[in-house]
Amino acid sequence: MRPHLHPYDLSKRLIALCDRGEVDLAVTTLQSAPRNAQNIKVWNTLIQQCMGAKKYRVAYSVFTDVRLPFHFASYLHLYYSLGGGG
């Protein structure tokens, strides 16, 4: 049995990968992470990291990947993080 991965720890891993310029690996890491470690804040962290790395297409791709499984209010939060809300 794999140890429990907390969303905070997953976010730290994703940030570290993006800081090393491995944005695509960060996306793959999140997509293959256990569902219990994924929440809207973790996905938002990755989107923000993609935007900071000027990987706008990757950020949009992550945005479209995540918008369906989560609640509408969370979708709006992601939309604003992409700069669409003002």
Query: In the 8-state DSSP scheme, what is residue 69?
Result: T
For residue 55, the 8-state DSSP code is -
Token pair of 44 as six digits:
């938002």
Per-residue pLDDT at 28: 94
Please name the fold of domain 7-81.
1.25.40
Query: What does the pLDDT look like over 5-59, one tens digit per residue?
Result: 999 999 999 999 999 999 999 999 998 998 888 888 899 999 999 999 999 999 9
| Most confident residue range from 20-24, 75-79, 82-86 | 20-24
Return the half-sphere exposure (C-beta side, CA atoms, 13 A cut-off) of residue 24.
0
Domain ranges of the chain: 7-81
Cβ-based neighbours of 61, under 8 Å, separated by 6 or more: 27
Q: Best-predicted range by mean pLDDT among 2-11, 41-50, 59-68, 71-80?
A: 41-50
In terms of pTM, does the model score above 0.85?
no
